[in-house]
């Protein structure tokens, strides 16, 4: 399914866009972009305060937006969100399953609760979002878009970020299969895997869940890399929305970076190599503290 020659300004000038994790990061950037094009944005976030700030920014720019709270890791919670959005605003044209968290540290040092929370938000949040919203989107018979946030990390390997990388591999696989299911169902819904590269957000800010020197050191190193070479959030968001409008399945903020990760993955699988750090990642781990 393709979006033809219509552009984002034409396709997304009205209708409802629901974005989870809209209180910060890429969710915030996409909420502002869809709002600037004329859509009514439902900014959903686990933090009402963060969602409200996003809504305030969209309204200040002349857009329409509403803040709603949701815990995407809770299936009942996101089902209630879907029902409430439909009752208040009608059919949803764009759903962005964006909510996600970064967890860092050695696998055996991360608590079971943090492991569960990471996978619930990053994986189950995407699944729950699709299960909650798709039935009504399909029933409407209208053209719509579902975008799931994967990552270039979903094609690679990265120690200390194991739970996050694992979750993004899962999101990519889920989205590929979901696309086939929508095709079999004959629904006019575009499914997209959004693959951000290095975009300047606050995802590597310290959290109370960080345990040990390894987690702190890794977050610090990644923040520095992001600050030095990350893409501007507004530019990344515009690229994402333009590719959604074009009907793309593969939606990359930095296509060359995505290609590099894909090529490395293809070689790894073809050669059945042992996992290894890419040369450009070695400096990040050069001074890593020893695990406790």
Catalytic residue among 12, 34, 133, 164: 164
Residue carrying the six token digits 């590719």: 243
Nearest Cα residue to 90 out of 15, 144, 29, 148: 15
Quickly list H helices, the chain: 8-11, 25-37, 48-60, 75-89, 112-119, 125-140, 162-185, 213-229, 233-245, 255-271, 282-285
Would you call 28 helix, strand, or coil by DSSP? helix
Give yes or no for a contact between 50 and 23, defined as CB atoms under 8 angstroms apart. Answer: yes
- At 89, list the tokens: 């605003």
Q: Which residues contact 242 (CB under 8 A, 6 or more apart)?
A: 7, 8
Nearest Cα residue to 63 out of 24, 6, 11, 17: 17
Q: Is 80 exposed, middle or buried (0-12, 13-18, 19+ CB in 10 A)?
A: middle
User: Running DSSP on this structure, what letter comes out for residue 108?
Assistant: G
H-helix or E-strand containing 18? strand 16-20
Q: Is 171 a catalytic residue?
A: no
Would you call 160 helix, strand, or coil by DSSP? coil
- Residue numbers annotated as active site: 164
């Amino acid at each position: 399914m393709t979006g033809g020659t219509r552009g984002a300004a034409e396709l997304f000038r009205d209708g409802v866009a629901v974005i989870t994790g809209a209180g910060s990061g890429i969710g915030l950037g996409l909420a502002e972009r869809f709002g600037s094009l004329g859509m009514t944005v439902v900014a959903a976030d686990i933090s009402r305060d963060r969602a409200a700030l996003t809504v305030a920014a969209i309204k200040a720019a002349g857009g329409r937006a509403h803040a709603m709270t949701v815990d995407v890791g809770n299936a009942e919670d996101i089902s209630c969100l879907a029902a409430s959005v439909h009752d208040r605003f009608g059919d949803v044209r764009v759903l962005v399953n964006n909510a996600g968290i970064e967890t860092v540290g050695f696998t055996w040092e991360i608590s079971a609760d943090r492991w569960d929370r990471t996978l619930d938000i990053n994986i189950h949040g995407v699944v729950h979002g699709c299960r909650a919203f798709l039935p009504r989107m399909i029933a409407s018979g209208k053209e719509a878009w579902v975008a799931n946030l994967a990552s270039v990390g979903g094609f690679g390997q990265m120690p200390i970020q194991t739970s996050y990388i694992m979750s993004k591999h899962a999101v990519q696989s889920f989205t590929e299969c979901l696309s086939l299911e929508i095709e079999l169902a004959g629904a006019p819904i575009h499914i997209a895997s959004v693959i951000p590269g290095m975009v300047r957000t606050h995802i590597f800010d310290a959290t109370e869940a960080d345990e040990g020197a390894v987690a702190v050191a890794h977050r610090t190193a990644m923040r520095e890399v992001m600050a030095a070479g990350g893409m501007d959030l507004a530019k990344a968001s515009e690229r994402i929305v333009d590719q959604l409008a074009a009907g793309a399945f593969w939606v990359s903020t930095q296509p060359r970076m995505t290609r590099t990760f894909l090529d490395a993955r293809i070689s790894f699988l073809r050669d059945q190599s042992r996992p290894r750090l890419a040369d450009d990642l070695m400096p990040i781990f050069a001074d890593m503290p020893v695990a406790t």
